[in-house]
Chain A
Amino acid sequence: MSLPMNRNITPNELMSGDDDDAPLYVPHKKVYPQRVSGSFRRIKWGLMAFCLGVYYLLPFVRWNRGLGAPDQAVLIDFPNRRFYFFFIELWPQEVYYFTGLLILAAITLFLMNALGGRIWCGYLCPQTVWTDLFYAVERWIEGDRRERIKADSGPMTAMRTARRVLKHFLWLMIAWWTGGAWVLYFSDAPTLVRDLATLQAPAIAYIWIGILTASTYLLAGYAREQVCVYMCPWPRIQAALTDEWALNVTYKYDRGEPRCSVKKAFDLRSLGEKVGDCIDCNQCVAVCPTGIDIRDGAQLGCIQCGLCIDACDTVMKKIGRPTRLIGYDNDINVQRRIAGKKEIFKPIRARTLVYASLIVIVCTVMLYALVTRSLLDVNVLHDRNPVAVKLSDGSIRNGYTLRFLNKRGFDRVIAIDIDGPANAQVHVVGADSVIPDRPMIVLSRDTTTELRVLVTASLDGKAEKTQPIKFRVTDIGLGEAASAVDHFVMP
């Protein structure tokens, strides 16, 4: 796309008062996608139903975690700093799992791109899914492409106004429910729905619903393909990541050109001349949600949703020519067909293998980290002031702060043992030792407990100035253990 920065301004333009600098933004041309049916349209309906279904209904899925714990399958609990995903419960310090998920998402995106181009853009991106839904509503209320173009260019009748109001009302309802579903991920969904209905929900819930209602309405109702063309970084990155083997929605110009009408093509064919299959019916342009002409070749505006394939196939069937004049293909095969060679496809190549193995590696690492993560942990912090205390009998005491993490959903009893100076005694402030020198404490479920622990040792003057000390924590029921290392210091 060349930006008309240095175009010559005609005197007419100047006389019309248009003496502003040339715009950085091509004037918006409203797109009126036409109804289309076919295999890709069916795939898109299916994926839309799946994606929206998951998004809208997931907060209501329940998952029993026992008494006192939230029973929502997917919940981001900010006040209590927990993230729940079915059987997984993450603490803030485990947020690096999300880094793993993001890496996984990125590489999956790259793999999709290497295999079938902008699969994400065409079928799965929220912008595409919601815009598609909004277009469906628009077609349902205001009619198909031609009716909408006619209505927009004609006068504003009462009927047209009524339809327009209805359309925006439905759009706003969808947008509102989109924002509503969003906030349900952050609080108990049934409770929040009731609170929202009775106007007792916290203000922040209404604010976020408002923000997401506005963004959904504006992005899917108005910005639409402008998001893909101007706002989204992925098309730019995608162009840099793709290679010549990736399958993209392609107009097979080797088959399509030269274009001519059905009748003329019939005549020329009967004379034995070579003519293209494209009859220039413009159906591929009419159905395109971003308003481009796929026959111009690969381009930034093409989100590769495959709807032009459906449109072209319909026409090809009607005129009795083979389908897939537009289809998933690449330039290599176009050139090979021109040269009379057989098509080849290489889904398995270095690039896809690297992406796939990266996905496997990241998945394995994440799974390993998840399975082996400790559900009992202890951290230790030595007193800084005073570092050591001399007691009346001459023995030495060091104070420590121990922080225990119990990530299980039930209370448990742990015992504290120390490996350190000979004959060292350990005392937990506020806890009585049932067994001498082996304090036992109760850790409440799903929480951290901070305790002050005093270690006393009788050491003669020849002892090392500092010696290592290890706090071993053992769940006396389950046997789970954790430990932390620090030092025992002489004054």
Chain B
Amino acid sequence: MSEHHDIDHVSGRATTGHEWDGIKELNTPLPRWWILTFYATILWAIGYWVVYPAWPLVTNYTTGLFHYSTRASVADELASLEALRGEKMKVLGNASLADIEKDPALLALARARGRTVFADNCAPCHGTGAAGAKGYPNLNDDDWLWGGSLDQIMQTIQFGARSGHSKASQMLAFGRDGVLKKDEIVTVANYVRSLSGLATAPGQDAAAGKKIFAENCASCHGEEGKGNREFGAPNLTDQIWLYGSDEATLIETITNGRAGVMPAWSGRLDPVTIKALTVYVHSLGGGK
């Protein structure tokens, strides 16, 4: 429009030459830098279409010269992470469980790896903090059904409990299968409560309870009720109760039996990961 060189006499500036009711429009062109930037963005967009995925096709899309995709870049990053991790994990693989726990750097590494693996695989039953729940052991305490040493923990993780890959053990359903009568179950339940110093119901005969216990329970739980880690039979004399210590729960336990199952992990997790997980679980409460 620069051919219209009418000058607006008030502002002294050029007009576009357009006139409405005697009012002329001042010529205010876009700044040159703005126009150039605008053209540059158009050129940039064309370049972008060429090198990056841009246009949807019927069943596909234009991949561009760079063949970029977010999925591929994630896969790349994961692969490089695995490579990086592999080197560090090799050190864990070569060290013994006890050595890992004694070396602060290895311990930190194993705990870091173990924590994520625990959250991914173990937390659904044992809880994110490994505090357990009814029927699922708390891994922070010092009571271990299958043993709390580093080796025993690793064995439990590898083969599970009653998973078909480990030692078979089964608590009988004493009531349901008719081994014990109802009143006998109540008597032995009260006797079991007395083992850890809990109050017993009035009128219960401790001697009778002891006799029933010796005949039916002691083979797994031991004469004194201290349990047996070979069979995963819990210690009945301590303060920790997997299912509950009140009379009703004990009667239910004895009537129907208990047999908590934990899957075997050796097929699902690689040996080094299991090692890290073992150290992590052991570090929660120091095992025992």
Q: Is the CB of A21 within 8 A of B28?
A: yes
Cβ-defined contact, A430 with B104, below 8 A? yes
CA distance A109 to B142 in the complex (A): 65
Instruction: Contacts A383-B129, A385-B128 given; indicate if A427 touches B12 (C-beta within 8 A).
Output: no
A391 near B141: Cβ-Cβ < 8 Å: yes
The listed residue (A386, A394, A397) touching B239 by CB distance below 8 A is A394
Alpha-carbon separation in the docked complex, A399 to B5 (Å): 85
A391 touches B142 (CB 8 A): yes
CB of B65 within 8 Å of the partner chain:
no
Complex CA distance for A397 and B131, rounded to whole angstroms = 12
Contacts of B143 in A (CB 8 A): 391-392
Inter-chain contacts of A441 with B (CB < 8 A): 104
A460 interface hit (Cβ, 8 Å): no
Query: B262-288, CB under 8 A of A: which get 1 and which 0?
Result: 000000000000000000000111100
The reply on B216 being an interface residue by CB < 8 A is no
Q: Does B7 contact A (CB under 8 A)?
A: yes
Which residues of A are found within 8 Å of B5, using beta-carbon distances? 14-15, 19
B27 interface hit (Cβ, 8 Å): yes
A-contact 0/1 string along B108-122, CB 8 Å cutoff: 100100000000000
Chain A CB within 8 A of B127 CB: yes
Query: How many interface residues does chain A have, given as a range?
Result: 20 to 34
Nearest opposing residue in chain A for B127, CB measure: A385
Interface stretch of the complex, out of A249-257, A292-300, A444-452 = A444-452
Of B5, B11, B101, B104, chain A has the most CB atoms within 10 Å of the CB of B104
Among listed A2-10, A144-152, A166-174, A238-246, interface-contacting one: A2-10
Name the residue on A nearest B143 (C-beta). A392
Which residues of the other chain, B, contact A214 by a CB distance below 8 angstroms? none
Interface residues of B in 25-46 (CB under 8 A from A): 27-29, 31-32
Q: Which of B122-151 contact A (CB under 8 A)?
A: 127-131, 138, 140-143
> Which residue of chain A has its CB nearest to the CB of B112?
A450
Contact in complex: A389, B283 (CB < 8 Å) = no
Tell me if B218 counts as interface (CB < 8 A to partner A).
no
| CB-based contact B12/A9 at 8 Å | yes
B14: chain A residues within 8 A (beta carbon): 9, 14, 19
B102 at the interface (CB under 8 A from A): yes
Cβ A11 vs Cβ B7 within 8 A = yes
Q: Does B212 contact A (CB under 8 A)?
A: no
Is B2 an interface residue, CB under 8 A from the partner? yes
Judge whether A17 is part of the interface by a CB distance below 8 angstroms: yes
- Residue in A17, A397, A429 whose beta carbon sits within 8 Å of that of B283 in the complex: A429
Give the residue name and chain of the A residue nearest to B101 (CB): A430
- Which of A14, A399, A444, A451 is B140 in contact with, Cβ under 8 Å? A399
Tell me whether A386 and B101 are in contact (CB under 8 A).
no
A421-440 contacts to B, CB under 8 A, are: 427, 429-430
A390 to B238, CA, bound (A): 11
A273 part of interface (Cβ distance < 8 Å): no
* A236 interface residue (CB < 8 Å to B): no
Q: Which residues of B contact A452 (CB under 8 A)?
A: 111, 283
Which of chain A's residues has its CB closest to B284's CB? A399
Q: Which residue of B lies closest to A398 (CB)?
A: B140
B129 touches A384 (CB 8 A): yes
Nearest CB on A from B86, distance (A)? 22
- Answer whether residue B235 sits at the interface, using C-beta atoms and an 8 A cutoff: yes
A14 CA / B238 CA spacing, docked (Å): 102
B104 A8 Cβ-Cβ under 8 A:
no
How many whole Å from A430's CB to the nearest CB in chain B? 5
Is B176 part of the contact surface with A, judged by Cβ < 8 Å? no
Chain A residues positioned under 8 Å from B129 (CB to CB): 383-386
Query: Scoring A residues 1 to 37 as 1 if CB is less than 8 Å from chain B, else 0, what string do you get?
Result: 0000011110100110101110000000000000000
List 7 tightest A-B contacts by C-beta distance, closest first: A385-B129, A392-B238, A386-B131, A8-B12, A394-B239, A389-B140, A392-B143
Q: What are 18 contact pairs spanning A and B, CB under 8 A?
A: A9-B13, A9-B14, A14-B7, A14-B14, A19-B27, A20-B32, A385-B129, A386-B127, A389-B140, A389-B141, A393-B238, A397-B140, A430-B103, A430-B107, A449-B104, A450-B108, A451-B104, A454-B286
